[in-house]
Chains A and B, each alone.
Chain A
Amino acid sequence: MTDYNAYIATDTIEGAEGGPLAGKTVAVKDNISTKGVQTTCGSAMLEGYVPPYDATVIKRLKDAGATIPGKTNMDEFGMGTTTETSAYGAVENPAARGRVPGGSSGGSAAVVAAGDADYALGSDTGGSVRCPAAFCGVVGIKPTYGLVSRYGLVAYANSLEQIGPLAPTVEEAAELLEVIAGPDERDGTTRDAREHGTDYDFADAADGDVEGLSIGVPTELLDGADERVVETFWDAIDELESRGASYHEVDLPSVEHAVEAYYVIAMSEASSNLARFDGVRYGQSGGEGNWNESFAKARDEGFGEEVKRRVLLGTYALSAGYHDKYYKKAQDARAWVKQDFDEALSGADVLASPTMPVPPMKRGESLDDPLTMYLADANTTPVNLANLPAISVPAGETDDGLPVGLQLVGPAFGEKTIIRAGSALA
C-alpha cells in the first residue's frame, strides 16, 4: 500500500454485486461520511468519530458496485492548499517527490497518481479537487454547484463546495461523475441537469473531439503565473489548436478580487459551520466546568492552527462593524465574478487557464506564510464563486519535471463540454 501517507485509514467498504463500478476501487476523502467507518476531516477534533449514516455519494458508490479501499488524508476540514495541515501528517506527492501533492484533497490525488486506487472522490470549495489533480498529474472535476449531493459531506463553506471525482483520465473521471451526480431530496441545493438542457452521459462526451471548439483565455489568470507554468500552458493550448480548436484572449477584471472575496466568504461560512464542534454531541470533549470554558478548551485542543485562523478571521469578518466592509463587499465581488464569467462564456465554449499559477511547492515551505498560500488559489476560487463546472487535466511538465494542470471552465451544467475538451489532452 501507499507510502505517501495518503490514507488516514484503510478500512475496506464493499459495494453491491455488479454495477458500473464493480471490481473498481474508489478512495474517498475523509470529510465524506461513511457509515460505520471513522471520518475525521483530517482533524484531531473528530478522531474516533464514526458516522451513523452514509453520505449520498457513498450510497451511490456502493449501489454502483465500487469498493472503497480507505479514507484519504486531507487538509484539516478542507482548509489548505498543500495537505500539510492534516492532524494525521502531511502527504507526499507521488508524481514529484519532495513536493506537496496540493490540497485539500491531496490524499485522493496521491492514491490515484500512485495507482493505489482506480478513482477517488475529493471535495472542492476553492480548488481542493483541481489543485491536487494538477500537482499530482491526474484529472479532477469540480462540478456545477448543485450537480452532486452534499448530504453527508462535513460542511466547510456550503455555498461554494461540491464533491468531485479524481482519476487518471478524463473518461474515467467522467464515469465516476455519472455515478455520483443527480438530484437528492436530502440536499435541497441539488438540481436535475436534465432540466438545464443536458443529460448525465458524461463518459460518452470524452471523445476528444475539439474541432471548432472556441477557447477563451482570461489574461488576468496568466499574469503573475510562474513562467514554467505559462510555457506548459501554451503548449497545451497549441495541442488543442492543432486538433481544430481556436483561442482568443478575454478580459475578466473581476477575478483580480476573487481570491480575497473567496476567503472572506469561505471563512465566514466556516466560522458558522464549525461552531457545531463543541465536544458535546461528537468530537473531543472539553471536559467539566463552565460551558464557555469547556467549549473553548475543546476547540483549542481539537482544532489545528489553520482552522483556528480561518474561524477567527470569519468571526471577525461577520462581527459588528465589519460585516459591510468585508462580507457585503465579498458578496458584491461574487456577483461581479459571475457576471464576468457569463459574459466571457457567451463568446467562448470554455475558458482556459493554468489550474495553479505555480508548480507544486516544496514540502514545508508554505505553512508559515498563510497569505502566500491563499494567493496560490487565484485561478481556482473564481470558479466556485461563479458556481460553474471546471476540470483540471494534465498539461505536461515543466522542464524540471513538475506536473502542470490546465483548467477548463464551462457554463453551468456544461460538464459535457469541459469533459469533451479535456479528453483531447488526457
Chain B
Amino acid sequence: MSDNAVDGDEVTHIADLARIDLDEAEVERFTEQFGEILSAFEALDEVPETDRDAELTNVMRPDKVRECLSQDEALQNAPDSEAGQFKGPKVS
C-alpha cells in the first residue's frame, strides 16, 4: 500500500467536488481501492519528461445559422420544464 493512500475524509471531499453522494460502505470500499489504484499510478513517476510536439492545428468553421433542435425537442428529455425552459433545483 502506498504512503500516499487516501483516507476516508479525502474520498468524501472528492465525492463532494464531483457532486456524488456516497454511503459509508462506498466510502470504505473506495478508500481501500483508491489506495491500491493510486499506488499503481505512481509508476508514472518513472516516465521521462517528453516533448509533446504533436502537429496540432485549430479547426475553424464559419459560425453560420443552420437547422437545429426545436425548443420542444430540446426539452423532450427534461424531467421538468416551465415556459419553454429547463427547470432545475434552487440555486441556494
Using a CB–CB cutoff of 8 Å, the interface residues on chain A facing chain B are 49-50, 52-53, 185, 188-189, 254, 256-257, 260-261, 263-264, 271, 275, 278-297, 299-300, 303, 305, 308-309, 311-313, 315-317, 319, 325-326, 329-336, 338-339, 370-371, 374-375
Instruction: Give the complex CA separation of A377 and B92 in angstroms.
Output: 43
Query: Do B41 and A263 have beta carbons less than 8 Å apart?
Result: yes
Interface residues of B in 22-56 (CB under 8 A from A): 22, 26, 30, 33-34, 36-38, 40-41, 43-52, 54
Q: Does B21 contact A (CB under 8 A)?
A: yes
Query: Do B37 and A50 have beta carbons less than 8 Å apart?
Result: no
Instruction: Give the complex CA separation of A290 and B16 in angstroms.
Output: 14
Query: Do B86 and A315 have beta carbons less than 8 Å apart?
Result: no
Min CB distance B56 to A, Å, is: 11
Top 10 nearest A-B pairs (CB, nearest first) are A285-B79, A300-B21, A282-B77, A294-B89, A52-B73, A329-B44, A188-B59, A335-B50, A280-B88, A335-B52
Given A291-B91, A313-B37, A319-B14, 8 extra CB contacts under 8 A: A289-B89, A291-B88, A312-B15, A312-B20, A312-B34, A333-B47, A374-B37, A375-B40
Query: Do B17 and A332 have beta carbons less than 8 Å apart?
Result: no
Point out the residues of chain B lying under 8 angstroms from A279, CB to CB: 79
Query: Do A281 and B44 have beta carbons less than 8 Å apart?
Result: no
Point out the residues of chain B lying under 8 angstroms from A331, CB to CB: 52
Query: Do B78 and A282 have beta carbons less than 8 Å apart?
Result: yes
Min CB distance A285 to B, Å, is: 4
State which size class the interface on B falls in. 35 or more
Against A, the Cβ 8 Å flags (1 = close, 0 = not) of B48-88 are: 11111010000101000000010001101111100000111
Using a CB–CB cutoff of 8 Å, the interface residues on chain B facing chain A are 6, 10-11, 14-22, 26, 30, 33-34, 36-38, 40-41, 43-52, 54, 59, 61, 69, 73-74, 76-80, 86-92
Interface of A is mostly: helix
- Do A49 and B77 contact each other (CB < 8 Å), given the known contacts A278-B19, A308-B22, A333-B44? yes
- Do A336 and B50 contact each other (CB < 8 Å), given the known contacts A50-B77, A263-B41, A313-B34? yes
Query: Do B40 and A312 have beta carbons less than 8 Å apart?
Result: no
Point out the residues of chain B lying under 8 angstroms from A282, CB to CB: 77-78
Query: Do A311 and B22 have beta carbons less than 8 Å apart?
Result: no
Which residue of the partner chain A has the closest CB to B53? A335
Instruction: Give the complex CA separation of A205 and B87 in angstroms.
Output: 53
Query: Do A330 and B86 have beta carbons less than 8 Å apart?
Result: no
Query: Do A257 and B43 have beta carbons less than 8 Å apart?
Result: yes
Min CB distance B2 to A, Å, is: 12
**Contact sample, A vs B, 24 pairs, CB 8 Å cutoff:** A52-B69, A52-B74, A52-B77, A257-B44, A263-B37, A281-B86, A283-B79, A290-B89, A294-B89, A296-B21, A299-B20, A300-B22, A308-B22, A313-B34, A313-B38, A316-B6, A316-B10, A316-B38, A317-B41, A319-B14, A329-B47, A336-B48, A339-B50, A371-B36
